[in-house]
C-alpha cells in the first residue's frame, strides 16, 4: 500500500513537471516607470490592436514617451511621441508615421500619422485596470496608432463603452497607476508637472506563472 502511494505521488509530480515544461508561453507588456512596473495582458479578441502595440513596443517606439494626461479616478493616458519633446502643448496630437501600411489610415487632421480600425466588442467593457486606445473624434471611431489609456476608476468608466476599443487589462501594477494619477498636474490639461517617462518591453511568461505570482487568469471573452 505504501509502495502504491509513493508511486502515485511520483507520477503526480512527473505529470506536473511535464505539463509545466510543455506549457506555452504568452507575451505580455511590461511598462517601467520611476514609480514601479505595470504589466499588461492584451486580448486575442482585438488582434489588430494587440499586434500594433507589440510591433511598436518591440521597435522601441514607446521608450521615452510619457504619461501626458493623468486624471485621478478616471484614466492615465500615454504613448504619444510628441511627449518626448520640450513642448507640452502638442501632447496628445502625435502618433506613429503613416506609411500606407496595410490596415492603417491617415489621421484626419494632418495625414502624417496613422489610425487603425476599431475593434469594439460588446463583451469587453471599461473596467478598473482596462487598457484602451485613445482616439480623436473621427466618425469611424478609429483608434490612435499609439496612444492608450488605463482606467483607474474602481467603478470603471462605462460611459466610454462602445465608443473606444478596449484591448487589454492590467495584470499587476495598479498601485503604480494610482501613484501616477496622484502626481501634481497642470490643471488646464491634466499633464503631470514632472515628466513620467516610460520604458516598454514585451516579455514571455507562462499562464501558470501569472496565476501563481499575480493571481491573474487569462480572460476569455465571448
Instruction: Tell me which of 16 and 45 has the higher pLDDT.
Output: 45
Average pLDDT over residues 151-168: 98
pTM for the full predicted model: 0.90
Q: Which grid cell sits at 190?
A: 491634466
Cell match 520640450: residue? 86
* DSSP-based three-state secondary structure for 120: coil
Q: 3-state DSSP call for residue 192?
A: strand
List the domains of the chain with CATH numbers: 24-214 (2.40.100.10)
Determine the average pLDDT of the residues in 140-156: 97
The answer to whether 92 touches 79, Cβ cutoff 8 Å, is: no
Residue 65 sits at φ, ψ, to 5 deg, of -75, 170
Joined together, the cell numbers standing for residue 123 give: 463583451
Mean pLDDT of the chain: 92
Is the Cβ–Cβ distance between 129 and 174 less than 8 Å? yes
Amino acid at each position: 500500500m505504501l509502495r502504491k502511494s509513493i508511486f502515485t505521488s511520483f507520477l503526480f509530480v512527473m505529470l506536473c513537471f511535464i505539463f509545466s515544461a510543455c506549457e506555452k508561453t504568452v507575451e505580455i507588456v511590461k511598462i517601467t516607470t520611476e514609480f514601479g512596473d505595470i504589466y499588461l495582458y492584451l486580448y486575442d479578441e482585438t488582434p489588430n490592436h494587440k499586434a500594433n502595440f507589440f510591433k511598436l513596443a518591440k521597435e522601441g517606439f514607446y521608450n521615452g514617451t510619457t504619461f501626458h494626461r493623468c486624471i485621478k479616478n478616471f484614466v492615465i493616458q500615454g504613448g504619444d511621441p510628441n511627449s518626448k519633446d520640450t513642448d507640452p502643448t502638442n501632447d496628445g496630437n502625435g502618433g506613429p508615421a503613416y506609411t500606407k501600411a496595410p490596415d492603417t489610415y491617415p489621421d484626419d487632421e494632418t495625414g502624417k500619422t496613422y489610425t487603425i480600425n476599431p475593434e469594439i466588442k460588446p463583451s469587453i467593457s471599461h473596467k478598473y485596470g482596462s487598457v484602451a486606445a485613445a482616439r480623436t473624434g473621427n466618425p469611424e471611431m478609429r483608434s490612435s496608432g499609439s496612444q492608450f489609456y488605463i482606467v483607474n476608476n474602481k467603478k470603471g468608466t462605462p460611459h466610454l463603452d462602445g465608443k473606444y476599443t478596449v484591448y487589454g487589462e492590467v495584470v499587476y501594477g495598479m498601485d503604480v497607476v494610482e501613484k501616477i494619477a496622484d502626481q501634481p498636474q497642470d490643471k488646464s490639461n491634466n499633464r503631470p508637472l514632472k515628466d513620467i517617462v516610460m520604458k516598454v518591453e514585451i516579455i514571455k511568461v507562462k499562464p501558470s506563472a501569472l496565476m501563481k505570482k499575480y493571481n491573474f487568469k487569462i480572460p476569455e471573452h465571448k
